[in-house]
């Protein structure tokens, strides 16, 4: 008899985890076994702490994003990487004529910025603080120049009726570029999209943050590819000592439920940016594949 707990912090992750749990309950678990999907608050902090919670045995598996959050983590292994193409976006209203974060520091601009806060535990907040530091300033410096961080991030960024941003904003620095929030912001306001220069990207990579590209045309006003920090990848992962048989059962459940999972995320602002292709799930794992997962993919012709 098994008692499996999946840590799925966030609405999208809960939907995915629920379908995997449904597949597990229909699969080869011993009679009397239970499968639970656990979420909590705040989502971002729980996702950030997920690897520790999995290592401690509180959960057998978890889902997190971005993929680089797991890179270099000991004691955890990848089960699957789901398609999720996301980037960190640095957007400033055109009237300020800002071309880079160096401009912000050199001109000591008192910007009102919509961005995740450190208190939220969000990986974007941590990435932005590191990025600011590499450009020679801090959130405290911004506030000393007369700027402030707006606490306006909508609870449901992918609902069209949510207020996407405080109209008084000067800049939006955030991820989740595929959501209605970014679509509405970019279509309502004239923005400049700031690139992150190669030298800074290299230093970000040293800190574990993978470089990415905001592709031309992805949002209104993005006229050319913009180098930035990658926020892609929903990763289903587990403890490295998870039994091979359990890892296989999880992937069998994912395989069985792939159409239902893909069907939850369709349309112009889909959170998952392409349907599940089992052949893509084992590719480019942020930490090595669990041995049971690797065996499942190979035996089924997916790897």
Query: How is the chain split into domains, by residue range?
Result: 3-85+232-299, 89-229
Question: Would you say residue 268 has pLDDT above 80?
Answer: no
Residue 207 CB partners (closer than 8 Å, separation 6+): 130
State pLDDT tens for residues 194-233: 999 999 999 999 999 999 999 999 999 999 999 999 999 9
Question: Would you say residue 270 has pLDDT above 90?
Answer: no
CATH of domain 3-85+232-299: 3.40.190.10
Strand bridging mode 3-7 / 61-64: parallel
Higher pLDDT, 279 or 10: 279
Q: Treating both helix axes as pointing N-terminal to C-terminal, what angle do 291-299 and 244-256 enclose, rounded to 10 degrees?
A: 50
Cα separation, 93 vs 292, in Å, equals: 49
Token reading at 204: 């970000």
Which of 171-180, 254-263, 266-275 has the least mean pLDDT? 266-275
Q: Which pLDDT belongs to residue 152?
A: 95
pTM of the model: 0.92
Topology alike, domains 3-85+232-299 and 89-229: yes
Comparing CA positions, the residue from 114, 92, 112 lying closest to residue 103 is 92
Can you name the CATH fold of 89-229? D-Maltodextrin-Binding Protein; domain 2 (3.40.190)
DSSP E strand stretches across 13-146: 34-38, 61-64, 76-82, 89-93, 112-114
Question: Would you say residue 15 has pLDDT above 90?
Answer: yes
């Amino acid at each position: 008899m098994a008692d499996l707990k999946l840590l799925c912090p966030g609405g999208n992750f809960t939907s995915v985890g629920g379908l995997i749990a449904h597949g597990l309950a229909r699969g080869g678990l011993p009679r009397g076994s239970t499968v639970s999907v656990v979420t909590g608050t705040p989502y971002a902090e729980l996702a950030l702490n997920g690897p520790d919670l999995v290592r401690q045995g509180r959960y057998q598996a978890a889902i997190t994003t971005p993929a680089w959050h797991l890179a270099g983590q000991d004691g955890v292994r990848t089960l699957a990487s789901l398609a999720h193409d996301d980037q960190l976006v640095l957007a400033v209203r055109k009237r300020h004529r800002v071309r880079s974060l160096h401009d912000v520091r050199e001109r000591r601009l008192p910007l009102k910025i919509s961005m995740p806060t450190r208190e939220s535990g969000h990986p974007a907040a941590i990435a932005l603080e590191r990025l600011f530091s590499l450009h020679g300033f801090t959130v405290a410096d911004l506030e000393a120049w007369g700027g402030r961080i707006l606490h306006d991030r909508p609870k449901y960024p992918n609902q069209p009726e949510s207020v996407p941003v405080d109209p008084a904003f000067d800049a939006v620095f955030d991820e989740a570029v595929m959501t209605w929030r970014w679509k509405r912001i970019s279509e309502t306001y004239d923005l400049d999209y700031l690139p992150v220069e190669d030298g800074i990207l290299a230093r970000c990579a040293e800190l574990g943050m993978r470089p990415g590209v905001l592709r031309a045309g992805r949002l209104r006003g993005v006229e050319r590819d913009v180098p930035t920090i990658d926020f892609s990848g929903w990763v289903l992962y587990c403890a490295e000592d998870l039994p091979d048989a359990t890892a296989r059962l999880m992937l069998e459940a994912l395989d069985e439920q792939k159409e239902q999972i893909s069907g939850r995320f369709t349309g112009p602002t889909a959170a998952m940016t392409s349907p599940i292709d089992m052949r893509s799930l084992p590719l480019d794992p942020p930490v090595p594949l669990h041995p049971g997962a690797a065996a499942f993919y190979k035996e089924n012709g997916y790897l």
